[in-house]
Amino acid sequence: MAERLGKMVTERMGEHKLDPDVRRDAFTDDTKDASRPVSVLLKVSEAGYVPAGVTVRATFSRKLYSAELPFSALKRLAADRKVVSVGTAKAVRIPEK
């Protein structure tokens, strides 16, 4: 069910595969250093697919992983047909019991 929902949302969004924070930076902030690395969560449609210039940091499944890439690559990922979504990678704190 979640996979189907993700596909429907992505199809409606067209090329807006980037989460709002990533999209805002990639398409409106020309002041950022294009070569600086950014960390993202990347979901792809083809198992094992890694776009050029992307360094996988941690794998959650064959279609979902955290990655590092140059800031300048964000627009290219938005246009990549095999990329389903690009989200911000954020640290998650697990509460102690």
Whether CATH 3.90.1150 fits 2-88 = no
pLDDT at 72 over 80: yes
Q: Residue 35 contacts by C-beta under 8 Å, 6 or more apart in sequence?
A: 70, 71, 72
Alpha helices, DSSP H only, in 1-97?
2-13, 20-28, 74-79
* Amino acid 67: pLDDT: 93
Q: Which two tokens stand for residue 42?
A: 């990347």
Residues 19-64: tens digit of each pLDDT: 666 666 655 556 567 778 888 899 999 999 999 999 999 999 999 9
HSE of 26 in the Cβ direction (CA atoms, 13 Å)? 26
* pTM of the complete model: 0.66
How many angstroms separate the first and last alpha carbons of the chain? 31
How would you label 33-46 residue by residue, b for 16+ Cβ within 10 Å and e otherwise?
eeeeebebbbbbee
* Amino acid 81: pLDDT: 92
The pLDDT confidence band at residue 97, using thresholds 50, 70 and 90, is confident
Domain ranges, ordered by start, for the chain: 2-88
Residue 85 is which amino acid? S
